[in-house]
Structure 1
Amino acid sequence: MHKLLNKLFAPNEQALIRKDLTEIGKQRLVRSSLLILPLLMAVGIPFLFLLVSVFAPTEQLSDVEQFRALLGTMLPDVDERGQMFYVFTNFICPMLFVMIPLMSASVAASCAFVGEKERGTMETLLLSPLSVRKLFQTKVAGCALLSGAITLISFLLFFIVTVVGDILTGAPFFFNLNWLVLVFLLSPALTVLGITFLVMISGRAKTTMEAMQVSGYIVFPILLVFIGQITGLFLLSWWMLLLLAVVIAAVDIILFNLGFSKFTAEKLLS
């Protein structure tokens, strides 16, 4: 992280990012949210489902029949345990995984933006050598880097758990084109969405906790897309996820520009 900061940012910008990261690390609630949620979504729930898939009695796995329509194929060479774990990792885990970049970005941004007002440090920040534009861009970049690192580490842990599960249950290797688009295109777009949305509501939020609570509403529209797949309404393909990433990226650009227009010294001090 240190070498990356040196390459991408000037010394003043690096100092601001380190300050934000330090403040995030000091707040127990924020720190816990950035650790517990990703571990739960990427490791905890998949591991519990792996235990169920491996050790549950075969007769209790009969419910997998209702999910076979989601597979498109019957996976004739895979038994119930493998089919059950395959359905979980390819149709339920993506819904869990998208929450990581969204919520980690929102939590980090709530501390970086609203936290300045809560701590009464906004006046000091505006006296720094950085312009208001640079302050805004640097804070957004710092939150995005932190959220991106959390998302990547979460996926690596999820990858390990799932590969072990594929071996134990005999399920096909989970990583496909859908996951490629989800991890490397949709997740970054969701990261920026979480940050820019938080910037939009930061003027109304008085505390970091309030901002974190309000930012949770942004999760629901995204989850509805994946819930539609789980309920069998449609099947998300790689090109649909790519289209979703493009749409969210367009929204990111709009919210970024709107957020910057609100990030002025007058409004920040009001």
Structure 2
Amino acid sequence: MNRNSHQNRALRALVRKDIRAITASVQLWLPMIIIPLIIGVTMPAALLWLASRLDLREMGNMGAVLDTLDALTASGQIPQLAHMATDNQRIVYYLALYMFAPLFLIIPVMASSILTANSFAGEKERKTLEGLLFTPVSMNTLFTAKVLAALIPSIILSWATFLIFGVIANVIMYPMFGQIMFPNLNWILLILWVIPLCSLVVILLNVLISAKVRGFQEAYQLGGIVVLPLLALIGAQATGMLLLRPWLLAVIGAVLLCLCFVLLRLVSMWNRRQQLAESQI
């Protein structure tokens, strides 16, 4: 019992230490604030505001978007679109409830990549890894602390951005629809099911990468490869080729959960003090 209590105290201390290192480094926290504000608040809010006020049929570059909405309406993939009287209502609804959803996956991926790239690789650059490895803290506690120190800020940042965007979206949409439209089931599943699991997968992958490379930049660049599938998902959503529906989000979350177990297994295989010391020192 005393040993467990000691490890729990050590876990909390390590998490606090890593979070303090994040808040003390402008290189870490500044991108994590600016990027969500741009892709999760400023850009979506500006597009929603413009789409709610402009005459879309008079804009030549909106033809492809309106064609996509016509196809989605005709196919019944988004039944709500058929009951909307104007193009402005349709495009605002599509942007707020469907189009912007994949953008919010970039936020936890970006935050998790930055934070976990700073884990073991950051300890090496700060010359603190050697001392950390010689402490009586178990390797399970050490890896758990690294994961939690990245997971907690990543989820908080994603949820905070979601809340800000939700308020703005409803302020813009309420005069058009006369009711609160945001969020729908897609967004709830995305925020509560997919994003936490996505964060955990990226964190576990980046902890493995960060534990094996020698510097923050190298770890961050390798971890950034995870963004590529998200770009494909955003493109598919924008063209209407693939819509994020509740069943699809449930499947994506289940796949991410399976990946978590696989990565946890890999972490346990790498979870050896001597291996980590030999790869870093």
Q: Quick check: 2:113–2:202 contact (8 Å CA) kept in 1?
A: yes
The structure that has the greater radius of gyration is 2
Residue 206 of structure 1 deviates from its aligned partner by 2.4
In the alignment, which residue of structure 2 is the partner of 1:98? 105
What is the rounded CA distance, in whole Å, between the counterparts of 1:130 and 1:226 in structure 2? Answer: 42
What is the rounded CA distance, in whole Å, between the counterparts of 1:88 and 1:223 in structure 2? Answer: 17
For 2:201, give the aligned amino acid.
L
What is the rounded CA distance, in whole Å, between the counterparts of 1:240 and 1:213 in structure 2? Answer: 29
Residue 166 of structure 1 deviates from its aligned partner by 1.2
Q: Where does the alignment leave 5 or more consecutive residues of structure 1 unmatched?
A: 1-8
For 1:12, give the aligned amino acid.
A
What is the rounded CA distance, in whole Å, between the counterparts of 2:33 and 2:91 in structure 1? Answer: 28
What is the rounded CA distance, in whole Å, between the counterparts of 1:54 and 1:237 in structure 2? Answer: 24
Extract structure 1 runs of 4+ deviating beyond 4 A: none
Q: Quick check: 2:118–2:210 contact (8 Å CA) kept in 1?
A: no
Which shifted more, 48-57 or 61-70?
A: 61-70
Question: For 1:1-270, what aligned pairs fall within 5 Å after superposition?
Answer: 10-58=8-56, 59-60=58-59, 63=63, 64-68=65-69, 69-71=71-73, 72-73=78-79, 74-170=81-177, 173-270=181-278
In the alignment, which residue of structure 2 is the partner of 1:3? none
What is the rounded CA distance, in whole Å, between the counterparts of 1:244 and 1:78 in structure 2? Answer: 34
Q: CA RMSD in A?
A: 2.1
Residue 40 of structure 1 deviates from its aligned partner by 1.5
What is the rounded CA distance, in whole Å, between the counterparts of 1:264 and 1:169 in structure 2? Answer: 59
Question: SS of 1:22's equivalent?
Answer: helix
**TM-score for the superposition, normalised by structure 1:** 0.89
Q: Quick check: 1:53–1:81 contact (8 Å CA) kept in 2?
A: yes
**TM-score for the superposition, normalised by structure 2:** 0.85
What is the rounded CA distance, in whole Å, between the counterparts of 2:102 and 2:72 in structure 1? Answer: 15
What is the rounded CA distance, in whole Å, between the counterparts of 1:171 and 1:37 in structure 2? Answer: 32
Q: State, as a whole percentage, how many aligned pairs show the same letter.
A: 28
* Cα distance per residue 1:83-113 (max 9 Å; x no partner): 1111112232111001111111121111123
Residue 42 of structure 1 deviates from its aligned partner by 1.6
What is the rounded CA distance, in whole Å, between the counterparts of 1:160 and 1:57 in structure 2? Answer: 24
Residue 214 of structure 1 deviates from its aligned partner by 1.8
Residue 196 of structure 1 deviates from its aligned partner by 0.9
What is the rounded CA distance, in whole Å, between the counterparts of 1:78 and 1:170 in structure 2? Answer: 10
Question: SS of 1:253's equivalent?
Answer: helix
Question: SS of 1:98's equivalent?
Answer: helix
For 2:172, give the aligned amino acid.
G
For 1:263, give the aligned amino acid.
N
Number of aligned residue pairs: give it: 262
